[in-house]
Amino acid sequence: MSLAQVRGGIPHVVRDDLVDDAGRIINLPFYCSHLIIRNQGLNACKLYFTQADFDGDKNYVTVPVPSTTYPYGEWSGMVETAAGNNSDVWVKALALKTTAIELVAFQRRG
């Protein structure tokens, strides 16, 4: 592991309301190494990592609503975006509902 991977990153924060299940792309201003998404609404939402998966409504992560099982209503993980079709993420509310999200992406360095 290089020093660049353990020294942290510069966070980019996006807060948004997701209406119905239209969804949207979240353009990241840099390539990221780690992603945290919190559901701050009353309905679950979906997180996609490619445009094709978003368009086909497949291969997504469900971000739960806060509950006793998931007290923060969040999903986090090592997500390394790259140039081309994998440089952004997409989000969509689940089942024609409305919800609110907070997404934090950490810049990949080195």
pLDDT digits (tens, 9 = 90+) for 67-107: 999 889 999 999 988 777 778 999 999 877 888 999 999 98
What's the confidence (pLDDT) of residue 4?
A: 47
CB of 28 within 8 A of CB of 82? Answer: no
Asked if residue 9 has pLDDT above 80, the reply is no
**Please, what CATH class does the domain formed by 9-104 belong to?**
mainly beta
Structure tokens at 42: 């009353």
State the Cα–Cα distance between residues 51 and 88, nearest whole angstrom. Answer: 9
The better pLDDT of the pair 46, 86 is held by 46
pTM for the whole thing? 0.85
Domain-wise residue ranges, the chain: 9-104
User: Model confidence at 6, in pLDDT bands (50, 70, 90)?
Assistant: low
State the Cα–Cα distance between residues 17 and 41, nearest whole angstrom. Answer: 8
Q: How many CB atoms lie within 10 A of CB 51?
A: 13
